[in-house]
Structure 1
Amino acid sequence: MIQARPQPGDIGLTQINGTVGRLIRFGQWLNGNGFADYQHAFLVLPGDRLIEAEPGGARVAPLDSYAGADVVYVCPSGLADADRDRICAASSAYEGVPYSFLDYLAIATHRLRMPVPGLRRYVAATGHMICSQLVDQCYQDGGVRLFDDGRWPGYVTPLALYDQLAD
Structure 2
Amino acid sequence: MTTPQPGDFALTRVHGITGAFIRAGQRLVGDGAPVQHAYVYVGNGEIVQAMPGGAELIRLEEAADPVIWSTGRILLTAAERMRVCGAARGLVGTPYSFLDYASIALAHYRIRPRWVRDYVASTGHMICSQLVDEVYRRAGIDLFPDDRIPGDVTPGDLWWLLQVQPRVTSADRDLWRLAHG
TM-score under structure 2 length normalisation = 0.84
Runs of 4+ in 1 over 4 A off after TM superposition: none
Say whether 1:73 aligns with 2:69. yes
- Equivalent runs, 1:17-166 vs 2, <5 Å: 17-34=15-32, 36-66=33-63, 69-75=65-71, 76-166=73-163
Structure 1 unaligned spans of 5+: none
Compare the two structures and name the one with the higher helix fraction: 2
How large is the RMSD of aligned CA atoms in angstroms? Answer: 1.6
Q: Deviations over 1:32-64 (max 9, x none)?
A: 213x31000000011110000011111000011
Q: Deviations over 1:43-88 (max 9, x none)?
A: 0011110000011111000011137x35311155331111111011
Distance 1:41 1:164 in 2: 13
Whether the 8 Å contact between 1:13 and 1:162 is mirrored in structure 2 is yes
Partner AA of 1:136 in structure 2: D
Match of 2:9 in 1: 11
Distance 1:142 1:33 in 2: 27
Partner AA of 2:144 in structure 1: F
Partner AA of 1:137 in structure 2: E
Secondary structure of the 1:50 match is strand
Whether the 8 Å contact between 1:123 and 1:154 is mirrored in structure 2 is no
TM-score under structure 1 length normalisation = 0.91
Larger radius of gyration: 2
Whether the 8 Å contact between 1:31 and 1:104 is mirrored in structure 2 is no
Distance 2:112 2:85 in 1: 36
Flag the 1:150–1:45 CA change in 2: closer, same or farther, 3 A. Answer: same
Number of aligned residues: 163
Distance 1:57 1:66 in 2: 15
Of 142-151 and 107-116, more deviation after overlay is shown by 107-116
